[in-house]
Structure 1
Amino acid sequence: MGNQLADYQLRGNELKNICAWDFVSRVDRIRKSTDRRRLANRDSDDEEDHDDDENEPEEQDLDLLDDQIVEDNADEDVSFESIFESEAHKRPRVSLLKGHSQEKTHLLRVRSPNDLLVPVPIGPGIPRRDKPEIYPRYCRLMLIFFKPWRHAKDLRDAGQTWEKAFELFIQTCTREVKQKMNNMQILHECRDSRDD
């Protein structure tokens, strides 16, 4: 059985620029056979609607699903924005990389922009950025959440502190990422106000 960590680390190259937070929010792992059944059912519904169409093939090829999978091609960069901002009914699909326990039976499907989830981390609470004694933990967690990575070594350079790695990351990350981090801090501040 796969898990979200393995799904994220072994996501197809088309999703290499997505951070873990957005991956959880925007991507589902689905069974290939389930997706093929859904495609077959939709195609049979389409055939009923177009019975009079002479150009309509009598039998839909389920291998059309394979044509919808975004091809893993390291030489070409698929537009990250186009994958996630598309509102097309047919959602982009991406293969899992070799080494994933379910690479042959599952694939990744990008959710519609109107169907995003809000990630809810489990475990210890998210550290505050305004407490010096836990600031390194905060920096490490923000990098894990918001910097794209496959291996722990992708988060910081050898010998680099979490604080320095975070400082460099914050200079290049998007406004949306900064806003998400600010919202996490605001949540702490709201709790402080409530408790006063």
Structure 2
Amino acid sequence: MGNQLADYQLRGNELKNICAWDFISHVDRIRKSTDRRRLANRDSDDEEDHDDDENELEEQDLDLLDDQVVEDNADEDVSFESIFESEAHKRPRVSLLKGHSQEKTHLLRVRSPNDLLVPVPIGPGIPRRDKPEIYPRYCRLMLIFFKPWRHAKDLRDAGQTWEKAFELFIQTCTREVKQKMNNMQILHECRDSRDD
């Protein structure tokens, strides 16, 4: 069984520039057999009843399907924004990288713009940015959420503080990312107002 952290870290290179927040919102993992069954059903749509044994494809057909996924996503210069905004009924699929426990059996599928999820972090509350004693935790979490990474060392340089890494990141991140971070802070301020 895979998990979202492994899915994110071992996402295909087509999604290398996506942050964890957007990955959770825009991407899900599906079984390759889902695609294979659909292909088998399309090829034999004259038959009314299909069971799993009848939908099995020859090994060479499975290899062809895997090649199509790689070829469809082979251009690493394609922006992930254009992939996300696509209204096409057939959603883009991206292979998992080697090392993922389900690389042979699963793919990543980009959700339709109408089917996006709102990430809901679990665990301790999101730190506030206006409290100096927890500001380093805030910086670390915002980098984890919004800076693309595969390994923890991608989040900051060796010897760099979380605050400095965040300061550099905030200078280059998009307005949309800044708005998401501002919305998180506004939630804290709303709670403060409610409690007064």
Shorter-chain TM-score above 0.5: yes
Decide whether aligned partners of structure 1 residues 73 and 25 sit closer, same or farther in structure 2, where only a CA change above 3 A counts: closer
Decide whether aligned partners of structure 1 residues 49 and 151 sit closer, same or farther in structure 2, where only a CA change above 3 A counts: same
Cα offset, 1:77, TM superposition: 1.8
Are the equivalent residues in 2 in contact too, given 1:50–1:56 (CA < 8 A)?
Answer: no
Decide whether aligned partners of structure 1 residues 137 and 48 sit closer, same or farther in structure 2, where only a CA change above 3 A counts: same
Decide whether aligned partners of structure 1 residues 72 and 139 sit closer, same or farther in structure 2, where only a CA change above 3 A counts: farther
Unmatched 5+ stretches in structure 2:
none
Cα offset, 1:83, TM superposition: 1.1
Unmatched 5+ stretches in structure 1:
none
**1:19-62: per-residue Cα shift (whole Å, max 9, x none)?**
00000000000000022213444565699999999999999967
Cα offset, 1:177, TM superposition: 0.3
Decide whether aligned partners of structure 1 residues 156 and 57 sit closer, same or farther in structure 2, where only a CA change above 3 A counts: closer
**Quick check: 5-14 or 58-67, which moved more?**
58-67
**Quick check: 75-84 or 12-21, which moved more?**
75-84
Are the equivalent residues in 2 in contact too, given 1:14–1:70 (CA < 8 A)?
Answer: no
**1:95-119: per-residue Cα shift (whole Å, max 9, x none)?**
0000000000001000011110000
Decide whether aligned partners of structure 1 residues 72 and 156 sit closer, same or farther in structure 2, where only a CA change above 3 A counts: farther
Distance 2:47 2:152 in 1: 49
Decide whether aligned partners of structure 1 residues 120 and 150 sit closer, same or farther in structure 2, where only a CA change above 3 A counts: same
* TM-score normalised over the length of structure 2: 0.86
**1:124-163: per-residue Cα shift (whole Å, max 9, x none)?**
0000000000000000000000000000000000000000
Decide whether aligned partners of structure 1 residues 51 and 119 sit closer, same or farther in structure 2, where only a CA change above 3 A counts: closer
User: Number of matched residues?
Assistant: 196
Query: What's the % identity of the aligned pairs?
Result: 98
Q: State the 4+ residue runs in structure 1 displaced beyond 6 angstroms.
A: 46-64, 72-75
